[in-house]
Amino acid sequence: MSDMLNNKILLLIIAINTCIACTWLDTYSREDCIPDPKDSYEKLLRDLKSDNISVQRHAACLIGQYKNPEAIEPLLAVVGTGRQALDDYAFKSLKTIGYEKTISHMQASLNGNDQHKRLTAMQANLYIKEYRLLGQLEKIASHNIYTQRERTLAADAILRINKKVGTDILMSMLTGDDLELVKGAVKVAESHRLSSTEGIMISLTHSENMDVKLSSIASLGEVGGEKSVIRLSELLNENGDILNTAIVALGDISNHASVNALMDLFPNCENGICLHITNSIYPSSSAAAPVLATRMDDMDYRVRLGALLTFYSHNRQQFSFDRGYYLKTFADRMINDKNQYVRAVAALCLSSYGYYDLLKYVRAALDKEKIYEYEKDCNKVNHPLEKLAQKETKGPRYAIIQLIARIGQPKYMEILIAEAGDKNHEYRSYVTSILEKFSGHKYGQNIEAWRKWWSENKHKYEQLEDSSTLDVGTKAPAAAPAE
Torsion of CA 107, 112, 115, 116, to 10 degrees: -60
How far apart are the C-alpha atoms of 437 and 416, rounded to whole Å? 12
pLDDT of residue 412: 76
Which range (34-48, 190-204, 320-334, 337-351) has the least confidence?
A: 320-334
Q: What amino acid is encoded at 99 in this protein?
A: Y
Max alpha carbon distance in the chain (Å)? 84
Q: Give per-residue pLDDT as tens, 236-250.
A: 999 889 999 999 898
Domain residue ranges of the chain, discontinuous segments joined by + = 256-483
By CB atoms closer than 10 A (0-12, 13-18, 19+), residue 93 is buried
pLDDT of residue 455: 86
More confident of the two residues 322 and 250: 250
CA atoms within 13 A on the CB side of 329: 19
How far apart are the C-alpha atoms of 174 and 182, rounded to whole Å? 5
How far apart are the C-alpha atoms of 145 and 151, rounded to whole Å? 9
User: Which are the contacts of 461, defined by CB distance < 8 A and separation ≥ 6?
Assistant: 410, 413, 468
**With bands split at pLDDT 50, 70 and 90, how would you rate the model's confidence at 285?**
low
Q: Where do the H-state alpha helices sit in 282-424?
A: 288-295, 301-317, 321-334, 340-352, 359-365, 368-376, 384-389, 396-407, 413-419
How far apart are the C-alpha atoms of 26 and 35, rounded to whole Å? 20
More confident of the two residues 463 and 193: 193
How far apart are the C-alpha atoms of 118 and 107, rounded to whole Å? 9
pTM, full prediction: 0.63
User: Which are the contacts of 222, defined by CB distance < 8 A and separation ≥ 6?
Assistant: 190, 191, 193, 252
How far apart are the C-alpha atoms of 117 and 106, rounded to whole Å? 8
How far apart are the C-alpha atoms of 289 and 259, rounded to whole Å? 9
How far apart are the C-alpha atoms of 1 and 36, rounded to whole Å? 50
Q: Give per-residue pLDDT as tens, 335-370.
A: 778 877 778 777 777 776 655 566 666 766 666 545
Q: What is the DSSP string of 119-183?
A: HHHHHHHHHH--GGGHHHHHHHHH-TTS-HHHHHHHHHHHHHH-HHHHHHHHHHHHTSS-HHHHH
With left for phi above 0 and alpha for psi between -120 and 50, is residue 67 left, alpha or beta? left
pLDDT of residue 246: 93
How far apart are the C-alpha atoms of 386 and 373, rounded to whole Å? 18
Q: Give the residue among 88, 66, 79 at the shortest CA–CA distance from 109.
A: 79
By CB atoms closer than 10 A (0-12, 13-18, 19+), residue 298 is exposed
Percentage of the chain lying above the pLDDT 70 cut: 70
* Other CB atoms within 10 Å distance of the CB of residue 68: 12
How far apart are the C-alpha atoms of 373 and 218, rounded to whole Å? 46
**With bands split at pLDDT 50, 70 and 90, how would you rate the model's confidence at 39?**
confident
Q: At what angle do helices 425-439 and 447-462 cross, to 10 degrees?
A: 40
> Quick check: 62 and 87 in contact, CB under 8 A?
no
Gyration radius (Cα) of the chain, Å: 29
In order of 100, 124, 383, 475, the CA distances from 392 in angstroms are 62, 49, 16, 6
pLDDT of residue 447: 86
Asked whether the predicted pLDDT for residue 473 surpasses 50, the reply is no
Q: Give per-residue pLDDT as tens, 329-340.
A: 777 778 778 877
**With bands split at pLDDT 50, 70 and 90, how would you rate the model's confidence at 139?**
very high
